[in-house]
């Protein structure tokens, strides 16, 4: 099973903050103050049940689905185009289906639940879209993939 990105990897280092500030400082108006900070991360978890083809290796299907979910719901290398999650882009259930489309050995997806993981660790099931703040990004929490 893949793992969610550790929280410390989502924090901007002081060195990077200073570097970005120095680069932007030469272009800012004198009255503008720079405030460089991390995006607001929205943690998402997926529970999905997949029906595998009779000849499929169920363990391989589960591992590949898990890998795709963690890669897709990744602020750095995820998103629809694989170049990082776009700032402020909401997450839709159809995004999850598209992420898993074409996965070898899958007959169909039986059930899919999308959750927002709150700061206290509690999970809130999302129906429809998962809204992301304009200055926010999506990041994976734990996923659960069941293959029948």
pLDDT digits (tens, 9 = 90+) for 64-105: 999 999 999 999 899 999 999 999 999 999 999 999 999 999
Domain total for the chain? 1
Q: Where are the alpha helices (DSSP H) in 77-129?
A: 93-100
Answer yes or no: is 27 within a domain: no
Per-residue confidence at 119, pLDDT binned at 50, 70, 90? Answer: confident
Residue with tokens 């999302």: 126
8 Å CB contact between 46 and 59: no
Query: Domain span at residue 54?
Result: 39-147
pLDDT band at 37 (very low <50, low <70, confident <90, very high): confident
What b-and-e string marks burial along 114-141, b requiring 16 or more CB atoms within 10 Å of the CB? bbbbeeeeebeebeeebebeeebbbbbb
Inter-CA distances, 92 with 14, 27, 126, 137, Å: 34, 37, 10, 14
Task: Give domain status of residue 6, yes or no.
Answer: no
Q: Residue 31 domain-assigned?
A: no
CA angle centred on 135, ends 130 and 141, rounded to 5°: 45
Residue 7 resides in a domain: no
Q: Establish if 23 belongs to a structural domain.
A: no
Task: Assess if residue 11 is contained within a domain.
Answer: no
Q: What is the pLDDT of residues 126-148, one digit of tens each?
A: 999 999 999 999 999 999 999 99
pLDDT bin (cut points 50, 70, 90) of residue 49 is: very high
User: What confidence category does residue 10 fall into, taking pLDDT thresholds of 50, 70 and 90?
Assistant: confident
Is 60 inside a domain boundary? yes
């Amino acid at each position: 099973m893949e793992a969610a990105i550790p929280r410390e990897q989502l924090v901007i280092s002081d060195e990077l903050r200073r570097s970005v500030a120095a680069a932007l400082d030469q272009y800012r108006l004198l009255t503008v103050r720079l405030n460089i900070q991390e995006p607001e991360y929205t943690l998402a978890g997926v529970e999905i049940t997949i029906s595998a083809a009779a000849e499929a290796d169920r363990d391989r299907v589960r591992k590949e689905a898990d890998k795709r979910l963690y890669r897709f719901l990744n602020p750095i290398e995820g998103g629809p185009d694989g170049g990082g999650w776009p700032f402020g882009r909401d997450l839709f259930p159809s995004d999850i289906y598209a992420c898993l489309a074409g996965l070898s050995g899958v007959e169909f997806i039986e059930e899919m639940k999308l959750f927002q993981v709150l700061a206290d660790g509690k999970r809130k099931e999302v129906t429809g879209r998962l809204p992301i703040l304009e200055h926010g990004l999506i990041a994976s929490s734990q996923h659960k993939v069941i293959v029948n």
